């Protein structure tokens, strides 16, 4: 049995705790056994109040016994709560000791700040919610912040982006433990529309979240994602009901980029998925994503991700092969 200990505190994000907990519990129900024993722990134990006001009963950290097969997952929370957690010497000592014992140490959303403060993310790739990536990098310069992933695994450490991405991360952990069929069955049981790989970008979700429902940019970008092979800046402007000049200003305001580069970001996002999940040759993939040529796609990849498409495909294909061989 694998103990899954979720570290909580007053002000923790509810779904950061309950999302992964339901994934592991559902996996146990599916296989008809108890491969995971899930529990929430906190400094001092007792009842904690989450961001939504939900009360959760927790175990006292000092009574938690961990082994080499176990998983520790640190929840995120509101800014004030994360600051309190970082200042809690008892909590930090426990996290460091746990890291030295368990198989995997993980965080959801702003829980990455706790791992970073404990030194666990030093020299490692990690991610957090898109709105806090810059802050994480500024406060902890030894952390290699990946602003493009919804979750990252670096050795024994996992970090996920924000809120629901903890579910995606937990599903991948289940896949490692019990196989792809079980993870897919859990996703279906939880009525998840699609299982998202870790390399899927936060970019589009972040951009949509920054635009209000009354702003035309969000719906126009949603439309653009579905028409990448043919969309251009003028079409995007028309779809948004804006002049090209106003669209340029709006993109600068909301996304800190130009309309053309914004469309390239969307194309890179789509190309990343295709490179990692298909064997399409570069030329055909570039056309399907709207780049027009493999050379233009390569330039966009190098600008956005710092690697060429071929290198990106080799990297993630190798990771999948390693996982399947274990």
With helix as H, strand as E and coil as C, how does 203-269 read? HHHHHHHHCCCCCCHHHHHHHHHCCCCCCCHHHHHHHHCCCHHHHHHHHHHHHCCCHHHHHHHHHHH
pLDDT over threshold 90, residue 251: no
Q: What is the pLDDT of residue 170?
A: 96
Read off the pLDDT band of 86 (50, 70, 90).
very high
What residues contact residue 153 under an 8 Å CB cut-off, 6+ apart?
A: 172, 198
| pLDDT at residue 200, as a whole number | 60
∠ CA 269-247-286, nearest 5°, is 30
In 3D, which of 217, 225, 221 has the Cα closest to residue 247? 217
Residue range 48-79, pLDDT digits in tens: 999 999 999 999 999 999 999 999 999 999 99
What token pair was written down for 20? 């992964």
Which single residue is written with the structure tokens 């996703």? 187
pLDDT tier at 196, thresholds 50, 70, 90: low
Task: Domain 2-189: give its CATH code.
Answer: 3.40.50.880
Class of the 204-320 domain? mainly alpha
Going by pLDDT thresholds of 50, 70 and 90, the confidence category of residue 326 is: very low
Q: Answer yes or no: is pLDDT of 214 > 70.
A: no
pLDDT at 305 over 60: yes
Give the tokens for residue 229: 């092979």
Residue pLDDT, tens place only, 5-20: 999 999 999 999 999 9
Residue 131 pLDDT grade (very low, low, confident, very high; cuts 50, 70, 90):
confident
- Which band of pLDDT confidence, cut at 50, 70 and 90, is reported for residue 277? confident
Report angle CA 286, 301, 265 to the nearest 5 degrees. 80
Q: Where are the domains of the chain?
A: 2-189, 204-320
- Could you tell me the two tokens for 36? 């995971």
Task: Compare 212 and 64 and report the one with higher pLDDT.
Answer: 64
> Does 2-189 match 204-320 in CATH topology?
no
* pLDDT, tens only, 155-179: 999 999 987 899 999 999 999 999 9
CB 118 within 8 A of CB 97: no
Bridge partners of residue 72, in order along the sequence = 5, 105
pLDDT at 290 over 60: yes
């Amino acid at each position: 049995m694998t103990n899954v200990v979720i570290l909580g505190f007053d002000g923790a994000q509810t779904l950061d705790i309950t999302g992964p907990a339901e994934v592991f519990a559902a996996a146990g129900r599916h296989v008809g056994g108890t491969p995971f024993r899930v529990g929430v722990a906190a400094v001092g134990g007792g009842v904690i109040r989450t961001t939504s006001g939900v009360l959760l009963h927790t175990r006292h950290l000092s009574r938690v016994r961990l082994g080499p097969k176990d998983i520790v997952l640190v929840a995120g929370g509101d800014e004030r709560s994360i600051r309190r957690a970082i200042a809690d010497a008892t909590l930090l000592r426990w996290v460091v000791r746990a890291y030295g014992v368990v198989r995997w140490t993980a965080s959801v959303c702003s829980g990455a700040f706790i791992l970073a403060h404990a030194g666990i993310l030093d020299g490692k790739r990690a991610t957090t919610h898109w709105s806090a990536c810059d802050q994480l990098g500024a406060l902890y310069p030894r952390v290699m912040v990946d602003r493009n992933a919804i979750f990252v695994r670096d050795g024994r450490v996992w970090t996920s982006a924000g809120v629901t991405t903890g579910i995606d991360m937990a599903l991948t952990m289940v896949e490692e433990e019990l196989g792809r069929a079980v993870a897919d069955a859990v996703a279906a049981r939880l009525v998840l529309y699609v299982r998202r790989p870790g390399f899927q970008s936060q970019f589009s979700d972040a951009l949509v979240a920054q635009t209000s429902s009354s702003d035309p940019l969000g719906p126009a970008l949603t439309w653009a994602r579905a028409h990448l092979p043919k969309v251009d800046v003028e079409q995007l402007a028309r779809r948004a009901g804006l002049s090209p000049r106003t669209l340029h200003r709006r993109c600068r305001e909301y996304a800190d980029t130009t309309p053309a580069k914004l469309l390239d970001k969307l194309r890179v996002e789509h190309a990343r998925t295709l490179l990692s999940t298909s064997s399409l040759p570069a030329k055909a993939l570039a056309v399907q994503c709207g780049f027009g040529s493999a050379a233009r796609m390569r330039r966009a990849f190098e600008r956005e991700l710092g690697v060429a498409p071929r290198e990106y495909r080799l990297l993630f294909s190798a990771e999948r092969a390693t996982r399947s061989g274990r």
